[in-house]
Amino acid sequence: MRIGVPKEIKANEARVGLVPASVAELTRRGHEVVVETAAGLGSGMTDADYEAAGARIAPSADEVWSSAEMIVKVKEPQAAERRKLSKGQVLFTYLHLAPDAEQTADLVASGATCIAYETVTGPNGGLPLLAPMSEVAGRLAPQVGAHCLERPQGGRGVLLGGVPGVPPAEVVILGGGISGTHAATIALGMGADVTVVDRSPDALRRISAQFGGRVRTVFSTRSAIEDLARRADLLIGCVLVPGATAPKLITRDMLPTMKPGSVIVDVAIDQGGCCETSKPTTHAAPTYVVDGVVHYCVANMPGAVARTSTLALNNVTLPFVVELADKGWRRALMEDPHLRAGLNVYNGRITCAPVAEAQGLPWAPPEQLLAA
C-alpha cells in the first residue's frame, strides 16, 4: 500500500502522523511511504531521518494527497485538505466529528473511508488511540491553568500551590477518566487542593484509592457542580462521551457566581467543550474572558509538546496502520471489530451513531455497508 503523511496545517500544530521508526516498520513490510517535506520538523524529525527509514520525500502536500491510498495524519483535515480527498481513499486520523457539521458534510461528500482515532476501541473497553493524548492533555491542563491564574494573564493572581501561611488554589476536575486522573496527578504534585467530580462510583473509588484520600471525590450532580464552581480557582473539564458531543456541565448562568479571575481549562473542547461558553482557541491566542472568567480552550493541547505527543501517539496507532496496510482496509475493518468502531464515514454515509445523533443525520452500521 502507498501511505501518505502530509504536514499538518492546523494553526500551531507540529505533530506528525508517522515517525521514522514507524516508516521503517512499514517499508520493511513492503509498503511505500510518501512524506511531505518538513512534515516532521516540528517534532524534531528531519527529511533525512525519513529517507533513512525508507520514505520518499514529496515536495508538496498535493503530491502526497493525490498519490496515497491511505493518508495518516494527526488532526482533523482542514477545509483545504478535505478538498484533496478522493473517493475510495482511506483517511486515518483524529476527526472529532460530533460538533463539526461542516467537516462531516465534506467527508461524506468526498466518498472517502474515514477512520477516527478517537472511536477505535480496545479489547477491554476504552479508547486506546485517544488515551495517550488524553494523558498529555490532562498533564498539561494544571500547567496551563496555573499560568492563566497569573495576574498578567488575566487571572486572580493565585499561585497554584500556595506558600506557607497562604492556602493553595482550589482545583476542581470534572471527569475521573484518563485526562482527569492525569490532571489530578499534576495538580496534586503542584501542591493544589484537588477535587474530582464524576458520576461513576467506580471511577470515584479508583481515584480515592489511587491518591490515598489526598484528592476529594464528589458524585456529579447539578447542585454539586454549581457549588464547586463557586469555590474553584481553576476548573478543568475532562468529561468524555465517546464519539459524541461533550455534555455542557458548566452553564452560562454559573459563570457570574465564579470567582473573578478564576480559570476554566476545557480539555473537552475537541468534542464541543463541557462549558456553554467554550469555543475553540489556538496556541497563538489561547484564552478569552467571559463574565470575568478566563477560558482556555485550545483544541490541540498536545501539540504544544509535539515531540512527546507524536511519539506517544505512534506507539498506539502503528499496529492499526500496519493492519490496514497488510490486510487492505476492507479486510482489516471486516475482521477487527475494534478498528471497525473507528469507522465514522464510508462511501458517502455516516457510520458512527453518536456523530449522526449529534447532528440529526441518518447513519448505517458499518458492518452492513462493508458487507454490501
**Residues involved in catalysis:** 96, 270
CA distance 122 to 308: 22
Burial of 178 by CB count in 10 Å (0-12 exposed, 13-18 middle, 19+ buried)? buried
Of 280, 273, 248, 277, give the one whose Cα is nearest residue 262.
277
Q: Residue 52 half-sphere exposure, CB side, CA atoms within 13 Å? A: 8
Q: Find where cell 452492513 sits.
A: 368
Question: For 204-243, b where at least 16 C-beta lie within 10 A, e where not — what string?
Answer: bebbbeebeeebbbbebeeeebeebbeebbbbbbbbbebb
CA 340 and chain centroid, separation: 19
Q: Give the chain's radius of gyration (CA, Å).
A: 21
Q: In 10 A of CB 311, how many CB atoms?
A: 17
Q: Find where cell 491564574 sits.
A: 149
Of 200, 203, 219, give the one whose Cα is nearest residue 211.
203
CA distance 266 to 275: 7
Kindly write down the DSSP assignment for every residue of 60-104, as one continuous string: SHHHHHHH-SEEE-SSPPPHHHHTT--TT-EEEE----TT-HHHH
CA distance 209 to 70: 44
H or E element: which one contains 294? strand 293-296
